């Protein structure tokens, strides 16, 4: 059997009985909303059914059949809470399931490894005892057969389901139910024995489809349920911790769980969201965007580790939340003659580490800004595809590139004034001292006169042993060694 259906019988009523601790042999029924005199019964338990009470019956009639009938008003809050609990329970069993009705869940068992179906059913019923809700499990080769089986008490054959009960359950379209009963058909197996073509001609395609379901010929796909916060986990430390090692230890396990969930749903993590809650009420939230969707817990843990190394905790940590934002996994056809990054996530992590070593704003793809002021540059952030905006050339590249001295070294230069400018003759201080053999210049530069203006005169000079350096003369009378033509 590939499918199982978990049917929490009369959930709106049974959750109220479980809340109040009512014994199962107490006949009970759920009333419809509105005036009590005109109300009818919307759900009844098995004990009440033994008195011939069924859903749809007027309340007065129900009381007439069983004076001891416990009448309960619907409680949407309790019902919602019970639905959430049942959903969490089913989610803990299998990764793929359909929320067919609030009471019924269809489970895909194909991904489960089990010793035997009987053991799995027994184990599931046993593990659901904490819910205190009546659970019926049906197995089938198709989702609808499993659903029909779950409507039968005591896991009997789905074809033994009474047509009247099927009509009351309102889970399958069953037109002309009264005609079928007039024909003397009691159970689904009676219907299955009729010729399909004649049934379709006389009573329509809906009954023909039910005929197909009964014969296992109708196999539909499950509409898989996906919870919104399915990829979020929380862990509370008791007692609170002072270092990030325990967090990493726990995170490794939790990330594995989250990645497994993503994998079951054919998704990958696009980003990791971390929230740390400290004992002094402070919180630290960080969104770690991954350069490529991943399903590797190690890659996620590495990013987390790198980030945690930079976090300074203001107090002991009591709780942390991890959330993975799902996306479709990347299926890229790599170029045959083009090499790409082997592991974009590891590379992104390496860049974060490098940035941690050299400091912010000291790593990237450089480009020159549109100004004549020397050494005004910008660094573009590195993207996984290394695409940067095409910046036009501002100045022609020099034949012999310069190695800049950052910051420029103030030096003393012997000079003489010729016209408006000081001509350098020899370097008196600094790392390279000596007479200047040849000099090119001056190259006067200025700018930003409308605010804090700047101006300087650049010189290219040649010292002994063919050492080429760049000097800058700044008013008033300051010389700087700005670089070496290396």
Partner 1 sequence: MSVLQIDQLRRQLREKFPAAHRDPLPVPGESLPQAPLEFSPGQLSEIISPRQSSGASLVISELLEEKRDLPLALVDGRDSFDPASYGNEKCRRLIWVRCSKTEQAIQCADLLLGDGNLPLILLDLHLVSERELRQIPAALWHRLKIQARESGAALVAMTPRQIVPTPHRRLTLTGRFSLDHLELKSPVLQLHNPESQKLAGKA
Residue 468 interacts with partner 1 (CB under 8 A): yes or no: yes
Q: Which is nearer to partner 1, 241 or 341 (CB)?
A: 341
Q: Which is nearer to partner 1, 28 or 471 (CB)?
A: 471
* Cα–Cα distance, 62 to 175 (Å, whole number): 26
Q: Please check whether residue 424 is in contact with residue 415, taking contact to mean a CB–CB distance below 8 angstroms.
A: yes
Site for partner 1 in 402-421 (CB under 8 A): 402-406
Residue 115 interacts with partner 1 (CB under 8 A): yes or no: no
Q: Which is nearer to partner 1, 273 or 353 (CB)?
A: 353
- Site for partner 1 (CB under 8 A): which residue of 397, 450, 475, 476? 397
- Site for partner 1 (CB under 8 A): which residue of 94, 164, 200, 363? 363
**Which region among 14-22, 69-77, 249-257, 383-391 touches partner 1 (by CB under 8 A)?**
383-391
> Residue 261: is the preceding peptide bond cis (ω within 30°)?
no
Q: Which is nearer to partner 1, 118 or 375 (CB)?
A: 375
Q: Which of 409, 412, 474, 404 is nearest to 442 (CA)?
A: 474
Residue with tokens 């020099």: 398
Sign for the CA dihedral angle at 191, 194, 197, 202 comes to negative
Order of strands across the sheet that contains 3-8: 97-99, 104-108, 3-8, 135-140
CA–CA distances in Å: residue 424 to residues 460, 461, 462, 477, 481? 10, 8, 11, 11, 12
Q: What are phi and psi of 465, to 5 degrees?
A: 60, 30
- Site for partner 1 (CB under 8 A): which residue of 342, 417, 418, 420? 342
Q: Please check whether residue 72 is in contact with residue 30, taking contact to mean a CB–CB distance below 8 angstroms.
A: yes
Interaction mask 428-447, partner 1, x per CB under 8 A: ----------xxx-------
Residue 358 interacts with partner 1 (CB under 8 A): yes or no: yes
DSSP 187: B
* Cα–Cα distance, 288 to 353 (Å, whole number): 14
Residue 330 interacts with partner 1 (CB under 8 A): yes or no: no
Q: Which is nearer to partner 1, 33 or 338 (CB)?
A: 338
In the complex, the smallest distance separating the C-beta of residue 373 from partner 1, rounded to whole angstroms, is 10
In the complex, the smallest distance separating the C-beta of residue 374 from partner 1, rounded to whole angstroms, is 7
Residue 332 interacts with partner 1 (CB under 8 A): yes or no: no
Residue 68 interacts with partner 1 (CB under 8 A): yes or no: no
Q: Count the Cβ atoms, other than its own, within 10 Å of residue 31.
A: 18
Q: What are phi and psi of 347, to 5 degrees?
A: -65, -45
Residue 396 interacts with partner 1 (CB under 8 A): yes or no: yes
Q: Which is nearer to partner 1, 67 or 336 (CB)?
A: 336
- For 429, the token pair is 């201080």
- Site for partner 1 (CB under 8 A): which residue of 313, 382, 413, 481? 382
* Cα–Cα distance, 158 to 192 (Å, whole number): 11
Interaction mask 72-111, partner 1, x per CB under 8 A: ----------------------------------------
**Which region among 6-14, 231-239, 273-281, 333-341 touches partner 1 (by CB under 8 A)?**
333-341
Residue 347 interacts with partner 1 (CB under 8 A): yes or no: yes
Q: Which is nearer to partner 1, 396 or 453 (CB)?
A: 396
Sign for the CA dihedral angle at 409, 411, 416, 420 comes to positive
Residue 460 interacts with partner 1 (CB under 8 A): yes or no: yes
Q: Which is nearer to partner 1, 175 or 364 (CB)?
A: 364
Number of residues located near partner 1, criterion CB under 8 A: 59
* Cα–Cα distance, 86 to 80 (Å, whole number): 10
Contacts of 323 (CB under 8 A, 6+ apart): 229, 231, 232, 233, 272, 273
Q: By CB neighbour count within 10 A (0-12 exposed, 13-18 middle, 19+ buried), where does 156 fall?
A: exposed
Q: Which is nearer to partner 1, 46 or 467 (CB)?
A: 467
Residue 266 interacts with partner 1 (CB under 8 A): yes or no: no
Residue 346 interacts with partner 1 (CB under 8 A): yes or no: yes
Q: Which is nearer to partner 1, 1 or 484 (CB)?
A: 484
Residue with tokens 């199982």: 4
Binding site for partner 1 (CB under 8 A): 338-344, 346-347, 350, 353-354, 357-358, 362-368, 374-375, 377, 379, 382, 386, 388, 390-406, 438-440, 460-462, 465-468, 483-486
């Amino acid at each position: 059997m590939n499918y199982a259906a978990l049917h929490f019988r009369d959930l709106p009523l049974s959750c109220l009985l479980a809340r109040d601790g009512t014994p199962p042999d107490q006949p009970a029924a759920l009333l419809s909303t509105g005036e009590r005199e005109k109300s009818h019964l919307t759900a009844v338990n098995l004990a009440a059914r033994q008195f011939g009470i069924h859903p749809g019956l007027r309340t007065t009639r129900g009381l007439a059949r069983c004076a001891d009938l416990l009448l309960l008003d619907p409680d949407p809050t309790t019902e919602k809470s019970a639905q959430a609990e049942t959903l969490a329970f089913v989610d803990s069993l299998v990764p793929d399931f359909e929320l067919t009705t609030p009471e019924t869940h269809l489970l895909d068992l194909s991904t489960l490894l089990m010793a035997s179906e009987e053991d799995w059913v027994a184990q599931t019923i046993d593990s659901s005892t904490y819910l205190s809700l009546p659970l019926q499990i049906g197995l089938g080769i198709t989702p609808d057969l499993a659903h029909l089986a779950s409507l039968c008490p005591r896991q009997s054959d789905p074809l033994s389901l009474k047509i009247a009960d099927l009509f009351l359950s309102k889970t399958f379209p069953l037109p002309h139910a009264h005609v079928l009963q007039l024909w003397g058909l009691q159970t689904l197996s009676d219907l299955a024995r009729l010729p399909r073509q004649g049934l379709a001609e006389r009573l329509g395609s809906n009954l023909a489809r039910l005929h197909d379901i009964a014969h296992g010929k109708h196999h539909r796909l499950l509409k898989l349920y996906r919870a919104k916060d399915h990829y979020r986990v929380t862990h509370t430390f008791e007692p609170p911790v002072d270092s990030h090692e325990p967090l990493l230890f726990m995170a490794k396990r939790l990330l594995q769980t989250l990645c497994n969930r993503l994998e079951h749903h054919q998704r990958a993590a696009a980003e990791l969201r971390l929230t740390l809650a400290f004992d002094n009420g402070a919180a630290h939230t960080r969104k770690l965007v991954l350069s490529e969707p991943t399903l590797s817990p190690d890659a996620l843990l590495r990013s987390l580790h790198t980030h945690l190394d930079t976090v300074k905790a203001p107090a002991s940590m009591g709780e942390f939340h991890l959330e993975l934002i799902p996306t479709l996994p990347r299926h890229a056809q790599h170029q045959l003659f083009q090499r790409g990054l082997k592991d974009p996530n590891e590379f992104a992590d390496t860049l974060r580490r490098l940035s941690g070593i050299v400091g912010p704003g000291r790593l990237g793809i450089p480009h020159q800004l549109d100004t004549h002021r020397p050494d005004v540059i910008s660094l573009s952030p590195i993207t996984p595809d290394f695409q940067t905006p095409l910046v036009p050339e501002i100045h022609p590249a020099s034949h012999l590139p310069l190695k800049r001295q950052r910051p420029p070294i103030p030096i003393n230069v012997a000079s003489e004034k010729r016209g408006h400018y000081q001509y350098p003759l020899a370097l008196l201080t600094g790392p390279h001292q000596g007479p200047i053999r040849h000099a090119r210049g001056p190259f006067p530069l200025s700018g930003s006169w409308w605010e804090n203006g700047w101006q300087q005169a650049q010189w290219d000079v040649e010292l002994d042993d063919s050492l080429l350096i760049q000097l800058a003369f700044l008013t008033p009378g300051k010389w700087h060694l700005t670089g070496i033509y290396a």
